[in-house]
Chain A
Amino acid sequence: MSGLPSYAGFGERVWYYTFRAICAVIFLFLITPILVVIPLSFNVEPYFSFTPGMLSLKAEAFSTRWYLDILQNGMANPDATTGWWADAWNNSQWVRSMRNSFYIGVLSTLVSTALGTLAAVGLSRSEMPYKNAIMATLISPMIVPLVITAAGSFYAFSQFNLAYTYTGLILAHAVLGIPFVIITVTATLVGFDQSLVRAAQSMGASPVRTFFKVQMPLILPGVISGALFAFITSFDEVVVVIQMAAAEQRTIPRQMFSGIREQISPTILAVATVLVVISIALLATLELLRRRSERLRGLSAS
């Protein structure tokens, strides 16, 4: 497909450009909604649409008021000159949900990455019994509809006073992150040279030392990208949060969910823009890790 041969006939030429045009439209479909959010979030008017002023690129049609509103919404005294940042940190709804998202996301990622990496190392051993059944079980949190997971966790956790607590949310999100850690780490381990482990052990290293000094540095890119997947899963998750979180445990997506349902304001678009920037950063990190991993593998193969 790449490059049109010089002998291509008229029909082929037409099809070649038509096909590219179709693909361009599909790519537009994929990316436009995400890009449209960004300029709309600088709208001076409280609407979700482009104003005539914005279309003619007048400076007064744009503002950063919705970004300020992210900080101010819920603040005790947004006009105060002293203690403004402390006020925003403690009282702003969006800042609080941002803190909740990171708190729950980081802790649940730690749990799922630690347990998941350990399990992936076990799973990739050739003598692992019942490998397929166990793998299917470990991946299942990704497959079971979130509504069922949320209802089950809520019902069971509330019997032990874990519903409406951070602990409950962290545990539920850790479960959801596990499949991603398992998939990425086992994929990295496929290319791992097991003779390195044997070499380390033949030189007298203990299994723990072998793991941390030999295996871990090599699979680290996979572990980190698994952790990133787990983090974004928790960071983006809203169904479990809707069911299990009290008002003070609201995360960003939860806040957005009620924002869309109740009072739809461009503040949501501003938050969305911030989240798009965060996902670009995560994507870039992953790409760097992937390249590093490929380099490392190239080294170990030669």
Chain B
Amino acid sequence: MSDTHNAPVIAADGTPLKARLARALFRRKLDAFLLVSPLLVFLLVFFLAPIGWFLSKGFHDDLFSTEMPNTSAVLADWDGTTEPTEAHYAALVTDLVETRKTRTIGKVATRVNRELSGSRSLFTSTARKAAKMEAPFKDALIKTKKDWGEIAVWQAMKAASRTFTIGYYANALDRRQLADGSVVAQPEERRIHVKLLIRTLEISFQVTLYCLLLGYPIAYLLATLPNRTSNLLMILVLLPFWTSILVRTTAWIAMLQSQGVLNDVFVFLGVTPDEARFSLIYNKLGTLIAMTHILLPFMVLPLYSVMKGIPPSYVRAAKSLGATNWTAFWRVYAPQTVPGIGAGAILVFIVAIGYYITPALVGGQDGQMISNFIDFHMRRSLNWNLAAALGTVLLLVVLTLYWVYDRVVGIDNMKLG
């Protein structure tokens, strides 16, 4: 009797049942995972890897070291303070001749120019004459342009020759790296990025606040009205949600511009004289209004679904126990809507912080956000490394919020419409 108790339970084919069960469970896990794996691979190849690769440019820049290999080699041993020797100048001339031939001198000059502004023409003009230069190259170069004797030019080249650099991150945070590797603050007039980041956070915060102020009452109304009416009113929230952002931004231009609908109404009502119309757009105000309008449904929908689940009997119970309307709302109803506020606010903030289109179209000068700067460096100034560094800063903020969202709300609870 005791034998059968201790012996492992055996499945029909003689193997222990425990092992069979473990195998079966493993199979089922594998099955589930195999269903997800095509999508994971797809995202890895076309989303995660491209972004990772791009962002790595924020600290990895091999342009100078690839195009100017000889100079980079001699600069690696240079201490950054002593006078450059003939060997340095010889290497530089060799590289200048080569980059001129391969037509990459422009890129190299732009790269060094980022370290020392105004040095671009020094490279392009000298490269044109470099092929005819003869030793000693130090004298030949200084004769062509006396700037070549300046130590700052060499320090800039040394900074550019670093393949792995923190220079772009320093720049993204309004600092710069000196030749000796130390990091100092940028001069006052060049500190723009931190201000921009603060403005971006500020605009996002204001938009979130306005969305909450406008979204809470209508979510409450929608959740408490009878279904038939609330479904009809819901269309007023969902139609904007489904309408193209471009359409809504265009609509706000028509509404807010100086000859627009709203100003016409103001003039008609006598709020303002015809010649002093309000400037409501192409500034920060325009960005705030249009973004609040565009993001409002993101606040209303989660709030609504939370409020819909709050039993009306709680408030009634509070009132029957003598609470005033305000106490019943503030002490009993409002605390139960906090999860909805959290979900909506984080969602709106996350979407707002990366906003690009609306600020670009209606933001004017002071309504621009960090995304607009990233885009500027991607498509106009072509400083992709700085774009990557700024992008990393933005992404870190967003991912932190995403993590908070997962903690507070849970990603599985995300709902649409």
Q: Which residues of A contact B (CB under 8 A)?
A: 1-2, 12, 15, 19-20, 22-23, 26-27, 29-34, 36-37, 40, 47-50, 111, 115-116, 118-119, 121-123, 125, 127-129, 132, 134-141, 143-157, 171-172, 174-175, 178, 180, 183-184, 186-187, 225, 229, 232, 235-236, 238-239, 242-243, 252-253, 256-257, 260-261, 264, 268-269, 272, 275-276, 279-280, 282-283, 286, 290
Contact = CB atoms under 8 A, between A and B. Distances in A.
Interface in B198-254: 214, 217-218, 220-221, 224-226, 229, 233, 235-240, 242-254
A260 B250 contact: yes
Nearest to A49: B259
Nearest to A232: B242
17 contacts: A19-B221, A47-B259, A50-B264, A119-B40, A125-B31, A125-B35, A135-B411, A136-B411, A137-B43, A143-B398, A145-B394, A148-B51, A151-B387, A153-B51, A175-B43, A178-B39, A279-B239
Query: 10 tightest CB-CB pairs across the interface, nearest first?
Result: A145-B354, A122-B35, A156-B50, A152-B51, A33-B251, A1-B224, A119-B39, A152-B54, A122-B36, A125-B32
B354 A148 contact: yes
Interface in B379-412: 379, 384, 387-388, 391, 394-395, 398-399, 402, 406, 411-412
Interface stretch (B152-160, B168-176, B370-378): B370-378
- Interface of B: prevailing SS: helix
Contacts of B406: 132, 136
Interface string B144-166: 00000000000000000000000
Given A115-B38, A260-B253, A151 B54 contact: yes
Interface residues of B, number: 90
Contacts of B53: 152, 155-156
A37 B249 CA distance: 11
Given A243-B378, A272-B251, A275-B247, 5 more contacts: A26-B217, A125-B32, A239-B357, A242-B375, A276-B239
- Interface of A: prevailing SS: helix
Nearest to B242: A279
B378 A31 contact: no
A148 B395 contact: yes
Contacts of B249: 260
B218 A26 contact: yes
Nearest to B403: A136
Interface in B39-98: 39-40, 42-43, 46-55, 57
Given A115-B42, A139-B411, A151-B374, A122 B394 contact: no
Given A2-B225, A31-B240, A127 B29 contact: yes
Given A49-B259, A121-B35, A139-B411, A239 B356 contact: yes
A279 B62 CA distance: 47
A153 B217 contact: no
Which of A40, A261, A290 has most B Cβ within 10 Å? Answer: A40
A183 B36 contact: no
B316 to A, nearest CB: 11
Given A127-B32, A243-B379, A2 B47 contact: no
Nearest to B268: A55
A120 B405 CA distance: 21
Contacts of A256: 244, 246-247, 250
A145 B255 CA distance: 28
Contact of B356 (A147, A183, A269, A280): A147
A62 B373 CA distance: 41
B1 interface: no
B353 interface: yes
Contacts of B106: none
A118 B391 CA distance: 32
Contacts of A26: 214, 217-218
A271 to B, nearest CB: 8
B217 A19 contact: yes
Interface string B319-351: 000000100000000000000000000000010
Nearest to A253: B246
B55 to A, nearest CB: 7
B112 to A, nearest CB: 22
A89 to B, nearest CB: 23
B266 interface: no
Contacts of A146: 354, 356, 371
Contacts of B190: none
A49 B374 contact: no
B108 to A, nearest CB: 20
B378 A30 contact: no
A104 to B, nearest CB: 15
A156 B244 contact: no
A187 to B, nearest CB: 7
B261 interface: yes
A48 B225 CA distance: 37
Contacts of A153: 46-47, 50-51
Given A32-B255, A36-B261, A151-B387, A257 B361 contact: yes
Contacts of A145: 353-354, 356, 371, 391, 394-395, 398
Contacts of A260: 246, 249-250, 253, 361
Contacts of B48: 137
B33 interface: yes
A70 to B, nearest CB: 14
Which of A15, A119, A178 has most B Cβ within 10 Å? Answer: A119
Given A122-B34, A129-B33, A236 B254 contact: no
A151 B43 contact: no
Interface string B357-374: 100010000000001001
Which of A27, A33, A116, A282 has most B Cβ within 10 Å? Answer: A33
A293 to B, nearest CB: 12
Nearest to A255: B246
Nearest to A283: B242
A282 B411 CA distance: 26
A22 B361 contact: no
A48 B254 contact: yes
B132 interface: no
Contacts of B361: 257, 260-261
B249 to A, nearest CB: 7
Nearest to A132: B411
A253 B360 CA distance: 14
Nearest to B233: A27
